[in-house]
């Protein structure tokens, strides 16, 4: 009809015969793209069927016949071409190079369904083939790279997350902590099994046996770890060095006073931003991971590690997307579900859409308060200094949260004061500092003698006192030394294995110094300058508990007043009467 009307219009100007011919030509051109794919469909089915049979006879030998399939040259065909997914899957399995290229092409073509169907079968077979925990821990690597957004994407994300959790559990140094985290994985698998049973989704039937198999593998491995430990009569080490203590780990000890102080400041009507300040390895991140245990249920901690994805983003959209994702993940651990924020929404106007998302977050919080805990804020400052993020936009956003969104509280954590970062000081006014330092003696004793329930190692009283003397209740050093004591005891005869003596503590010191080398090396190389190192070595060689007079030090190191202030600020030395000495004996021994 359109072509006839167009022909009549042209006929008025150039004559009827020419216009009719012209109109018919255009009409045929317009309609052929509509009826040709339907008319040719039966012929292509036969053609593609023959290619599939020949392909199997050739075992997908290069060059594959799949390249001649109509899906690769007939872009107008919208109808699903039968058995294309089977043909594609056969090539992938027998000729991975050409199969992968075909998969990538089809994933953006009108026959995208075949790429998705083949990928689903590949992922299902792959997941089903993981027969032990070592295989399961690696599954997320392939799932992340091969996953096509499809109907089973939520299922694949479940398996990927479980794989990551298994990997994190097996990365734990001790069998005890491996079992502890794997129990949480087993609980998650049990929960997902229940969800699969209740689900009406057609794909859960295919993936139910897989998640059931994973649960059995993880549960059996937990039992094996327990049997091996019992058979060897070994002492399980619950101590965690190098990594923060996670929410699920029982060993987190004390810090009630800091929790109370933070709670008091959060209730301050002036809504001041908070800075959790302390030296490295004092347990700042562990505290933030577990702060929900110390605060009322009405305060929802949202922990953000700025060393991770947020600060490594290339632009504001990436930064805000990663920030929102970490907030969502952290809130979920506290039992609060936040709305999702899609990355593409942020591309055109990131901060506007982020503020709109915060409006939805406030609704989800109901009467609760969100504690936005930003760990390692110095990393974000470094990203701003390099020009990846705009200072006014990012820090202005934090200031806006403090001033105009009373449901959000801001807590920064780092090993520097705000005054050392002037750009932060100008945006975050009236920052209240919460200092985190050594454990209280009672807390350190608990960490030594009763770090977890049913701990099998006992200490002689003088052995406990010696650990306290050597570490000054430094949380990392207590764990480092006690972990080495357990290693030492597990090498001894079972008859004396489960009682730690003063001699055991002394014998474990060299191994603790070596095992904690990254901690001591950071002090030596990153926290003090050459003059500071020289001062620390001079004091160290004077012996345990030695106090060197200020006058003596100034004779050796003239004009070192600023260095003394820095060493005091870093909590490496302390002022005693008119002299200086090491705060921690193990640190002194490192500098000897």
* DSSP per residue, 95-164: -HHHHHHHHHHHTTSTTHHHHHHHHHHHHHHHHHT--SHHHHTTHHHHHHHHPPSSTTHHHHHHHHHHHH
120-124: average pLDDT: 74
State which of 237-241, 344-348, 577-581 shows the largest mean pLDDT.
577-581
Taking all residues of the chain, what is their mean pLDDT, rounded to a whole number? 83
How far apart, in whole angstroms, are the C-alpha atoms of residue 238 and residue 276?
26
521-545: average pLDDT: 92
Helices 502-515 and 475-490 meet at what angle, rounded to 10?
A: 110
Among 167, 169, 219, smallest CA distance to 189 is for: 219
* DSSP per residue, 245-269: PPTT-TT----HHHHHHHHHHHT-T
**Is pLDDT above 80 for 365?**
yes
State which of 18-22, 74-78, 160-164 shows the largest mean pLDDT.
160-164
Cis peptide preceding 56, ω within 30 of 0:
no
Among 138, 123, 126, smallest CA distance to 170 is for: 138
472-494: average pLDDT: 91
Q: Are 370 and 407 in contact (CB under 8 A)?
A: yes
Q: Specify the CATH number of the domain 527-591.
A: 1.10.10.10
Q: What pLDDT was estimated at residue 24? A: 42
- Alpha-carbon dihedral 213, 216, 217, 221, rounded to 10 degrees: 180
**Is pLDDT above 80 for 422?**
no
The structural architecture, per CATH, of the domain 441-515 is: Orthogonal Bundle (1.10)
564-572: average pLDDT: 91
SS3 236: coil
Q: What pLDDT was estimated at residue 247? A: 53
Only one residue has tokens 């990436």, namely 318
How far apart, in whole angstroms, are the C-alpha atoms of residue 166 and residue 398?
35
* DSSP per residue, 444-511: HHHHHH-SSTT---EE-HHHHHHHHHHHTT-HHHHHHHHHHHHHHHHTS-TTTTTEE-HHHHHHHHHH
pLDDT tens digits along 441-461: 999 999 999 998 888 899 999
Share of the chain above pLDDT 70, in %: 90
How many angstroms separate the Cα of 343 from the Cα of each of 322, 346, 394?
A: 9, 6, 17
Q: What pLDDT was estimated at residue 4? A: 40
Number of other residues whose CB lies within 10 A of the CB of residue 274? 22
First to last CA, the chain: 97
Q: Are 448 and 478 in contact (CB under 8 A)?
A: yes
Q: Specify the CATH number of the domain 256-435.
A: 3.40.50.300
pLDDT tens digits along 22-81: 444 444 445 665 666 677 778 778 787 787 788 788 887 888 887 878 778 777 777 777
pTM reported for the whole predicted model? 0.65
Q: What pLDDT was estimated at residue 449? A: 95
Residue with the bigger pLDDT between 87 and 328: it is 328
Number of other residues whose CB lies within 10 A of the CB of residue 508? 24
How many angstroms separate the Cα of 516 from the Cα of each of 238, 241, 242, 343, 466?
A: 17, 8, 9, 41, 18
**Is pLDDT above 50 for 15?**
no
**Is pLDDT above 90 for 512?**
yes
State which of 112-126, 135-149, 305-319 shows the largest mean pLDDT.
305-319
Residue with the bigger pLDDT between 414 and 478: it is 478
CA 323 to chain centre: 12
Q: What pLDDT was estimated at residue 509? A: 96
Give the up-direction half-sphere exposure of residue 400: CA atoms within 13 A in the CB hemisphere.
Answer: 11
Q: What pLDDT was estimated at residue 2? A: 37
Helices 16-58 and 84-94 meet at what angle, rounded to 10?
A: 40
Domain ranges of the chain: 2-116, 130-232, 256-435, 441-515, 527-591
Least confident of 16-25, 238-247, 405-414: 16-25
SS3 435: strand
46 by Cβ neighbours in 10 Å (0-12 / 13-18 / 19+) ranks as exposed
Residues in the chain: 592
104-123: average pLDDT: 76
State which of 43-52, 421-430, 534-543 shows the largest mean pLDDT.
534-543
Share of the chain above pLDDT 90, in %: 26
């Amino acid at each position: 009809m359109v072509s006839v009307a167009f022909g009549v219009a042209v006929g008025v100007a150039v004559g009827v015969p020419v216009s009719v011919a012209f109109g018919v030509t255009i009409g045929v051109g317009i309609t052929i793209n509509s009826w040709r794919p339907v008319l040719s469909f039966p012929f292509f089915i036969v053609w593609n069927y023959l290619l599939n049979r020949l392909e199997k006879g050739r075992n997908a030998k290069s060059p594959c016949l799949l390249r001649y399939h109509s899906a690769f040259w007939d872009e107008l065909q919208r109808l699903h071409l039968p058995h294309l997914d089977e043909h594609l899957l056969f090539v992938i399995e027998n000729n991975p190079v050409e199969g992968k290229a075909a998969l990538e092409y089809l994933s953006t073509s009108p026959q995208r369904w075949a790429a998705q169907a083949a990928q689903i079968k590949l992922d299902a077979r792959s997941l089903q083939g993981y027969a032990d925990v070592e295989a399961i821990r690696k599954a997320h690597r392939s799932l992340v790279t091969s996953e096509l957004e499809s109907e089973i994407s939520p299922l694949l994300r479940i398996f990927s997350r479980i794989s990551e959790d298994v990997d994190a559990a097996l990365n734990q140094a001790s069998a005890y902590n491996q079992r502890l985290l794997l129990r949480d994985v087993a609980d998650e698998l049990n929960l997902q099994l229940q969800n699969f049973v209740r689900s009406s989704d057609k794909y859960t039937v295919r993936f139910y046996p897989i998640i059931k198999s994973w649960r059995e593998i993880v549960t059996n491995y937990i039992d094996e770890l327990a049997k091996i430990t019992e058979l060897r009569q070994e002492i399980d080490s619950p101590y965690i060095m190098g990594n923060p203590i996670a929410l699920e780990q029982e060993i987190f000890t004390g810090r009630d006073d800091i929790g109370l102080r933070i709670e008091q400041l959060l209730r301050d009507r002036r809504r001041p931003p908070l800075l959790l300040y302390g030296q490295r390895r004092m347990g700042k991140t562990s505290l933030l991971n577990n702060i929900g245990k110390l605060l009322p249920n009405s305060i929802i901690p949202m922990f953000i590690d700025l060393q991770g994805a947020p600060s490594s983003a290339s632009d504001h959209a990436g930064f805000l997307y990663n920030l929102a994702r970490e907030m969502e993940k952290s809130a979920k651990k506290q039992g609060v579900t936040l709305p999702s924020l899609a990355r593409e929404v942020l591309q055109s106007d990131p901060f506007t859409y982020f503020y709109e998302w915060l409006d939805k977050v406030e609704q989800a919080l109901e009467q609760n308060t969100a504690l936005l805990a930003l760990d390692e804020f110095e990393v974000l400052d470094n990203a701003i200094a390099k020009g990846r993020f705009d200072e006014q936009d990012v820090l202005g956003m934090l200031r806006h949260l403090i001033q105009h969104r009373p449901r959000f509280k801001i807590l920064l954590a780092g090993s520097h004061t705000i005054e050392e970062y002037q750009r932060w000081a100008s945006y975050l006014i009236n920052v209240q500092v919460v200092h985190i330092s050594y454990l209280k003696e009672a807390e350190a004793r608990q960490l030594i003698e009763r770090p977890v329930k049913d701990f099998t190692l006992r200490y002689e009283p003088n052995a406990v006192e010696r650990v306290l003397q050597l570490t000054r209740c430094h949380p990392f050093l207590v764990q480092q030394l006690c972990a080495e004591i357990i290693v030492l005891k597990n090498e001894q005869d079972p008859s004396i294995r489960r009682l730690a003596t003063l001699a055991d503590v002394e014998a474990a010191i060299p191994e603790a110094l070596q095992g904690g080398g990254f901690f001591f090396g950071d002090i030596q190389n990153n926290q003090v300058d050459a003059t500071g190192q020289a001062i620390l070595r001079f004091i160290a060689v004077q012996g345990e508990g030695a106090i060197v007079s200020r006058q003596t030090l100034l004779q050796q190191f003239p004009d070192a007043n600023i260095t003394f202030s820095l060493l005091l600020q870093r909590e490496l030395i302390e002022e005693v009467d008119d002299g200086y000495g090491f705060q921690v004996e193990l640190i002194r021994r490192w500098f000897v």
